[in-house]
Amino acid sequence: MATIAQIAVPGSTKTISVPTGLFINNQFVPSLDSKETIECINPATEEPICSVVAGSAKDIDAAVAAARTAFTTTWGKNVSGFERSRLLNKLADLVERDAQELAELETLNNGKPLKIARDFDVGDSVACIRYYAGWADKIVGQSIDIDNKTKVAFTKHDPIGVCGQIIPWNYPIMMWAWKVAPALACGCTIVMKPSEFTPLTALKLSELIVEAGFPPGVVNTVPSFGSVGGAALSSHLDVDKVAFTGSTATGRRIMEAAAKSNLKKVTLELGGKSPQLIFESADLDQAANWVALGFLYNTGQDCTAGSRVYVQESISDKFLQILIEKAKALTIGNGLDEKTGGGPVVSKVQYDKIWSYIEAGKQEGATCVLGGEKRSGKGYFVDATIFTDIRPEMKIVREEIFGPVLSVGKFKTEEEAIQLANNTTYGLGAGLHSNDAGQCMRVSSALEAGTVWINQYNLLYNNVPFGGKKQSGIGRELGSYALDEYTSVKAIQWNYGEKLDWPL
Ligand SMILES: NC(=O)C1=CN([C@@H]2O[C@H](COP(=O)(O)OP(=O)(O)OC[C@H]3O[C@@H](n4cnc5c(N)ncnc54)[C@H](O)[C@@H]3O)[C@@H](O)[C@H]2O)C=CC1
Ligand code: BAL
């Protein structure tokens, strides 16, 4: 198979060249033994884009060996924080330089609107890489006095080692940046496994790793199917840590594989069924904007999608009317069209999954007040869909749909609102809209979630930690908290004066 694909950008004369091999030791190479390929599909047209090599377990072994050699020779404790910072800043500049092309590729492979891919996904990724470039020379331990006379202890925050990073298809560039940037800042080396649905931008970014000047083996990229490459990474005896974003079911498998192999450290950023509460004092127009963003951003394919909304009974009819108009205002279409605010969903699998939930909602007796009808024609498009008259036991209320589908319920009291919001096995995000400061404090502290947004929703900042409670995950990404996930604390105890009397 060719090692470079020339991908035409529809509507222009432009082509984007994308390497289609595995990226190991700063080179694009064929698989050692696999004849399998991953076919990349444009979800807006259902047309094939190109095929890339599907890496095998043997390829994962080769990538891990490359990462281990780099860790013990050119990277890890062999490179200063200043140098790691310099290289990360260089990488950020290159990603920024190529923002348009990376965004076009993301839109072709994932479907999301080009404008959003460029300004948010790539823009935030550049900022994320710069944020961690800033940390690279500031990773410090503590000095701890023992007795002020004869003994002292100090801690060093060592890089944890070789990291397997398994990322999903909903934010391929951004999840790459969230994982790669802190790992490299801390001195770790990486074997990255992008999703089989969206491997193209991770391969394109691998070219920038070489151009930025990272030594061979520091970042390796192995596109592969989850049950092959993902499973091989999670059970590998020479991988020190796996960082994962994806479904709770796969997160559970990864933890099990880690436990059964070498007890590698595992961080998991998993699914959600995030609630938003609308209290009667809220600015209803603003609250409706945030709720629309919460369930429609990225066509609902977002781990923090606000897919359940509970509205105080006294304002519920009025709020629903406003919300329906807001949801209708979003143009869902081909991401390459500048007018598009929401693209198709990523794949046929995801499309079928979403429709099975919409059917389940209807069958279980919820009322569909918006959407719920299939479009004709090509592309995995799903229009904004809102259900009311919901009950807690319905599938659409309990399970993650990962599509533009919202369940709207009602509550009478603050206590009832909290009980409804927390009635889930997940705990990733939650939102509340109220102009009563006391209520904002009480409810935000009672909500069981890794992030609570007040009078806003779904905003992320590189310096604010992100992660879940309950079955939404383990560990934190972003902020200084992510540095703890890529370092291991070593305590060094030094005796400079105490004599040991023996026997005791
Ligand atoms: N939290 C989040 O951001 C995401 C949640 N999801 C949820 O998961 C559902 C299913 O989507 P999938 O793409 O099937 O998610 P998934 O969790 O199976 O896939 C995510 C990543 O895990 C890898 N993977 C799959 N099986 C693996 C295994 N046994 N060991 C190691 N890695 C493995 C995949 O290749 C991909 O790179 C979605 O409908 C959505 O509800 C999906 C993507 C992202
Ligand atoms: N919302 C950003 C992280 C994610 O959906 O995976």
How far apart CA 166 and CA 414 sit, in angstroms, is 39
Q: Enter the ipTM.
A: 0.97
- Closest C-alpha to ligand 1, atom 11: 247
Question: Could you tell me the sign of the dihedral formed by the alpha carbons of 400, 402, 408, 412, in that order?
Answer: positive
- Closest C-alpha to ligand 1, atom 18: 250
Ligand 1 atom index nearest CA of 224: 35
DSSP 3-state assignment of 26?
coil
Q: DSSP readout, 408-472?
A: EEEESSHHHHHHHHH-SS--SEEEEE-S-HHHHHHHHHHS-SSEEEESS-S---TTS-B--SGGG
Ligand 1 centroid distance, CA of 113 (Å): 22
Query: Which residue among 121, 233, 239, 247 is best mutated to probe the pocket of ligand 1, counting the most ligand atoms within 8 A of its Cβ?
Result: 247
Question: For residue 480, what pLDDT is reported?
Answer: 98
Among all residues, which ones are annotated catalytic? 269
* Burial (0-12, 13-18, 19+ Cβ within 10 Å), 451: buried
DSSP 3-state assignment of 406?
strand
Ligand 1 centroid distance, CA of 53 (Å): 19
- Inter-residue contact 84 to 190 (CB < 8 Å): no
- Cis before residue 503, ω within 30 degrees of 0? yes
Coarse DSSP helix, strand, coil percentages of the chain, rounded to the nearest 5 percent: 40, 20, 40
Question: For residue 148, what pLDDT is reported?
Answer: 87
The angle subtended at Cα 388 by Cα 386 and Cα 389, nearest 5°, is 160
Q: Is the CB of 350 under 6 A from ligand 2?
A: no
Task: Kindly report the backbone phi and psi dihedral angles of residue 153, in degrees, each rounded to the nearest multiple of 5, phi listed first.
Answer: -130, 150
- Inter-residue contact 444 to 454 (CB < 8 Å): yes
Question: For residue 189, what pLDDT is reported?
Answer: 99
Report which of 384, 392, 388, 391 is spatially closest to residue 368, judged by C-alpha positions.
388
Query: Which residue among 175, 197, 293, 451 is best mutated to probe the pocket of ligand 2, counting the most ligand atoms within 8 A of its Cβ?
Result: 175
How far apart CA 222 and CA 203 sit, in angstroms, is 9
Length of the chain: 504
Ligand 2 centroid distance, CA of 303 (Å): 5
Residue 127 C-beta-side C-alpha neighbours within 13 Å: 14
How far apart CA 292 and CA 220 sit, in angstroms, is 38
Domain boundaries, the chain: 4-270+468-490, 275-454
Q: Which CATH architecture has domain 275-454?
A: 3-Layer(aba) Sandwich (3.40)
Query: Which residue among 250, 302, 346, 402 is best mutated to probe the pocket of ligand 1, counting the most ligand atoms within 8 A of its Cβ?
Result: 250
- Inter-residue contact 461 to 478 (CB < 8 Å): yes
Q: Is the CB of 171 under 6 A from ligand 2?
A: yes
Q: Is the CB of 353 under 6 A from ligand 1?
A: yes
Ligand 2 centroid distance, CA of 218 (Å): 25
Task: Kindly report the backbone phi and psi dihedral angles of residue 244, in degrees, each rounded to the nearest multiple of 5, phi listed first.
Answer: -135, 140
| Cβ contacts of 449 within 8 Å, gap of 6 or more | 274, 427, 428, 429, 430, 468, 469, 472
Q: What is the DSSP letter of 401?
A: -
Q: Is the CB of 255 under 6 A from ligand 1?
A: no
Ligand 1 centroid distance, CA of 160 (Å): 24
Mean pLDDT by 10 residues, the chain (504 residues): 86 95 98 97 98 98 99 98 98 98 98 98 98 98 94 98 98 98 99 98 98 99 98 98 98 98 98 98 98 98 98 98 98 95 98 98 98 97 98 98 98 98 98 98 98 98 98 98 98 97 96
Say yes or no: domain 4-270+468-490 is CATH 3.90.950.20.
no
- For 148, other C-beta atoms within 10 Å of its C-beta total 7
Ligand 2 centroid distance, CA of 73 (Å): 34
Report which of 202, 179, 177 is spatially closest to residue 110, judged by C-alpha positions.
202
The angle subtended at Cα 237 by Cα 233 and Cα 242, nearest 5°, is 40
